[in-house]
Each structure stands twice: as structure tokens, then as C-alpha cells.
Amino acid sequence: MAVAEESPWQLVLLVASFAVTAYAGVRLLDDDDALAVAVWLVGAALLHDLVLVPLYSLVDRALRPAGRYLNHLRIPALLSGLLLLVWFPLITGPPARYERTTGHPPPDYAVRWLLVTAALFAASGLWLLARTRGRTRVRTRRGQGQGRRSATNERSPTDH
């Protein structure tokens, strides 16, 4: 069994990342809601593994007929889903203490998320349109050039 030699910096970075994670965990669980945080972490892991992964797989399988255009649906959907996941508590409605804590009335996160999602899909559609038009132009040029080449190839070498 061969052992790969790793850089000593890799060990230093690994230890540093564990230290930062431990510090964040201690600070997070030091609060009065430590049990709620632990339940949330376990619930989030179970929700992801038992509900979201099969859902991702089904949606991906349903979109397979899109063929080469599939990534123009996947990427904006992935980014929109990630934004929904991160900002879900604020999108569904900020907590009552939001205004007390920040001193500002809560903005309408749901509308903002929908606008960002629409913009992501619009940008992806524009990118697809630009790619498709670029390919059409290249094919048209190649077709015209090949027509000239084939006519040249049909002439005898003495006519050149």
C-alpha cells in the first residue's frame, strides 16, 4: 500500500478548519437554544437525505429529454434552490423579533427571491439563445464554404 506524501500545509489547514468549526459549534451551542440547534441540524440532515435527494433525482430524470439544453435549466434551478435554502426563514416570513433586532421593517424577501429566480432563468435563456444563434451562423458559413470547395474539387486539375 503506497502512502502519498502530502504537504505539511495541508495538515495545518485541516487542523485550522477543525479549530474554526469547533469554535463555531461551541459558540452556537452555548446559547439557550442548544437543543433546538441540535434538533435543527439532525432534522436538516434527515430532510436532505430522505426527501431532497430523491426529489433532486426525480426532477433530474424528468428533465433528461431536454438533452443538451439540460444545464440551462439545472444551473438557474440550482442557484435558486440554494438561495431558497439559505434564506428560507426570511422568505417564509421573518421572525417577530426581526424589526426589534435590526431596527428596520422586514423587506419582502419572497418577492425578491422570485425576482432573482426569474432573472436567473432569463439570463440562462439569453445565454442559450446566444449559443444557438452562434452555432447556426457557424453552420451556415461552413455550409457555404463546403459548397465552394466541392465545386472546386469537381474541376480538373488543369482548370485550377
State residue 80's pLDDT score: 95
Q: Write the pLDDT tens digit of every residue in 107-118.
A: 889 999 999 999
Query: What's the burial of 102, exposed, middle or buried (CB within 10 Å: 0-12/13-18/19+)?
Result: exposed
Grade residue 70 by pLDDT with cuts at 50, 70 and 90.
Answer: confident
State residue 76's pLDDT score: 94
17-44 as b/e: b if 16+ CB within 10 A: eeeeeeeeeeeeeeeeeeeeeeeeeeee
Does the pTM of the predicted model rise above 0.75?
A: no
State residue 145's pLDDT score: 53
Q: Is 30 helix (H, G, I), strand (E, B) or coil?
A: coil
Q: Write the pLDDT tens digit of every residue in 27-64.
A: 777 767 777 777 888 998 999 899 989 988 898 888 88
State residue 139's pLDDT score: 64
CA separation for the pair 61, 83 (Å, rounded): 23
Dihedral of CA atoms 44, 45, 51, 53 in degrees, nearest 10, equals 130
State residue 157's pLDDT score: 61
* Span between the terminal Cα atoms of the chain, in Å: 67
pLDDT more than 70, % of the chain: 81
Q: Write the pLDDT tens digit of every residue in 79-134.
A: 999 999 888 888 888 777 788 888 888 888 999 999 999 999 999 999 999 988 87
